[in-house]
Structure 1
Amino acid sequence: MSPDTAVAAAPASAELFPAEVRRGRIRTFIRRHPTVALGGLLLAVMAFIAVFAPWLGTTDPQALAPARRVRPPSELHWFGTDMLGRDVYSRVIYGARISLIVGLSVAFLSSAAGLLIGLFSGFLRVLDGVMMRIMDGLMSIPPILLAIALMALTRGSVQNVIIAITIAEIPRVSRLVRGVVLSLREQPFVEAAIAAGTTTPRIIWRHILPNTLAPLTVQATYIAASAMITEAILSFIGAGTPPTIPSWGNVMAEGRALWQVAPYIVFFPAVFLSVTVLAVNLLGDGLRDALDPRLAKRI
């Protein structure tokens, strides 16, 4: 076979077996980035549980059954029952919805707001001093205390929990983006764009914004994990979602009084919360390694 024939046969074979080519690429990606694969798989399982909760052998998570109070795990109640006779398995499965909604919503909203503030603060010196002093003031307050203070001013609901945690996370995102923008602003390609008369919005959109997305994506995963833990803490101390909404923090709060008698009420939601946070952190670590060119060369 001549060289020209071999070159022509290579793309032809790829077109004939596209599924095998895709599987090979997937195997290569998993081998190079196992933490992304493991974290994504665990997170996908949790998302599946949250979406299909009504079809996973659950009952009404708020259904009371005083005659079946504090029953240990059994075939009828896989995770046992709480002090009001409610099925702990159903409450834990439905609680996945609250944690994922809060984590993803806070990550998206805080990343969007922090990106906007960081972009303009880092590129426009006029706004930098004012905006960063405001962010420094918010960062001087621990996030959990700031969230508790904000929740004390409103009524308990999922929406208010998301808003409170988002406000506490915005300063960290804005500081990260600002630092990236300050380093990019001195790069030759940005100076060349300024010398060519390119407008500021166009420079930010075409040259600055694309280079901030990689670190912002990694930061968003850590924010999602932190938001899930913060929501559980707020619900555990009674400052988060109302008791009528099943969340992992609420389930653990209701079971702490029975810890010595029925530790499973606290154990199962704690395991689900830990696995979910671990999945998000693994995904973030893997994305950091995959998106960092210095680490990618070593891999």
Structure 2
Amino acid sequence: MASATVLSPTAPAPPHEVVAAPPMPDIMPPVKARRGVLGFLWRNPTIAFGGALLGLMVCIAVFADFLWTVDPTALAPARRTREPSAEYWFGTDMLGRDVYSRVIYGARVSLIVGFAVAILSSAIGLAIGLVSGFIRWADGIIMRIMDGMMSIPPILLAIALMALTRGSVRNVIIAITVAEIPRVSRLVRGVVLSLREQPYVEAAMAAGTRTPVIIWRHILPNTIAPITVQATYICASAMIIEAILSFIGAGTPPIVPSWGNIMAEGRALWQVKPYIVFFPAVFLSITVLAVNLLGDGLRDALDPRMAKRI
């Protein structure tokens, strides 16, 4: 009688008795990572949509000479207040000027004012906020000045500054920049006050690192994200303020084809010729919407607390 083979628990099983384990089911499918610019835009559709709209407006402003336009200042009294048609796409105003050409060229003025104010106010406000937030003895003096300026609404401060100078695009940029600087400096100051208490900043101070080096290496890089988002809102606000100043006659000269000037010239005929005001108002609204969407998307993308995916 053959004796049964007894296998010890540690002995390997014979080759013909080894059974492969079934594969584990995929509980979570693999994530297809999208990298590069296209991946970033895919994850942030608000930035993609707002950037596309803003890019379209920038292209319109840059290539205004090639978009079937005519001289926006050319007068033709015999063709005044013509309705929109195949010859005059947006109609003509009370002086016979082509509204389409004036609206297209008006994009240049609004975008120049918006971008210039955003860059200048962000740069100046960043410098003031860094100094005020990191140097304690200067904080009280600088912030009291900023508080005094913030107590005046930006539009009123811009009107007061424009009343002291003559109307021009440069003076409009300066007036709006001065009105926006306090808000930027306040934002940067708040960020710096929170950063200066971080351990790596205290360690740098304990090691004897000079203040300018600490600000440049440790403080400034951490203020780029909030200042970038704030710059987009300043850009949108500057375009609106410029249109308001031109609308009330305190901004760019009437000969300059800005959206505010076009709407100001057409308000007398609003009830009978509403297209004169309608088209520049639509372009202004689209541009401001594009900048605000871009700012909202940048805020969500740059703030880790607002991240949708981990």
- TM-score, normalized by length of structure 2? 0.88
The whole-number CA distance in structure 2 between the counterparts of 1:59 and 1:74 is 16
Alignment of 1:143-162 (within 5 A): 143-162=154-173
Secondary structure of 2:52's match?
Answer: helix
1:298 Cα deviation from its structure 2 partner: 4.1
Partner of 1:248: 259
1:48 partnered with 2:55: no
Deviation at 1:70, TM superposition (A): 0.3
User: Partner of 1:9 in structure 2?
Assistant: none
Aligned residues, how many?
279
Report the Cα offset of residue 24 of structure 1.
Answer: 6.0
Q: Which residue of 1 aligns with 2:29?
A: none
- In proportion to residue count, which structure has more helix? 1
Q: How far apart are the structure 2 equivalents of 1:24 and 1:175? A: 35
Give the CA deviation at 1:295: 1.5
Other-structure match for 1:264: 275
Question: What letter is aligned with 1:210?
Answer: P
In structure 1, how many angstroms separate the alpha carbons of the residues matched to 2:36 and 2:225? 22
Alignment of 1:181-196 (within 5 A): 181-196=192-207
Q: Which residue of 2 aligns with 1:127?
A: 138
Aligned to 2:245, the other structure's residue is in SS state helix
Residue in 2 aligned with 1:214? 225
Runs (4+) of structure 1 exceeding 6 A deviation are none
Q: Aligned runs of 1:78-227 on 2, under 5 Å?
A: 78-227=89-238
Hey, what does 2:80 align to over in structure 1?
69
Distance in 1 (CA, whole Å) between partners of 2:102 and 2:138 is: 47
Partners of 1:227 and 1:298 lie apart in 2 by: 33
State the Cα distance separating 1:296 from its structure 2 match: 2.0
Following TM superposition, by how much is the alpha carbon of 1:241 offset from its aligned partner in structure 2, in angstroms? 0.2
Q: CA deviation at 1:297?
A: 5.2
Structure 2 CA distance, aligned partners of 1:172 and 1:82? 39
The sequence identity of aligned pairs, in percent, is 81
Q: In structure 1, what residue type is equivalent to 2:260?
A: G
Q: Which amino acid aligns with 1:278?
A: L
> Quick one: which of 220, 228, 236 aligns to 2:239?
228
* 1:223-257 alpha-carbon deviations (Å, 9 max, x no partner): 00000000000000000000010000000000000
In structure 1, list runs of 5 or more residues that go unmatched: 1-22
Give the match's secondary structure for 1:99: helix
Q: Give, in whole Å, the separation in 2 of the partners of 1:90 and 1:294.
A: 45
Residue 58 (str. 1) matches residue 72 (str. 2): no
Give the secondary-structure state (helix, strand or coil) at the position aligned to 1:106.
Answer: helix
Larger radius of gyration: 2
Q: Provide the residue aligned with 1:292 in structure 2.
A: 303
Equivalent residue of 2:252, what SS? coil
Supply the RMSD in Å over aligned alpha carbons: 1.4
- 1:31 is displaced (CA, Å) by 2.3
Equivalent residue of 2:307, what SS?
helix
Is residue 25 of structure 1 aligned with residue 36 of structure 2?
yes
Aligned equivalents of 2:270, 2:79: Cα separation in 1 = 18
1:276 has 2:280 as partner: no
Deviation at 1:294, TM superposition (A): 1.4
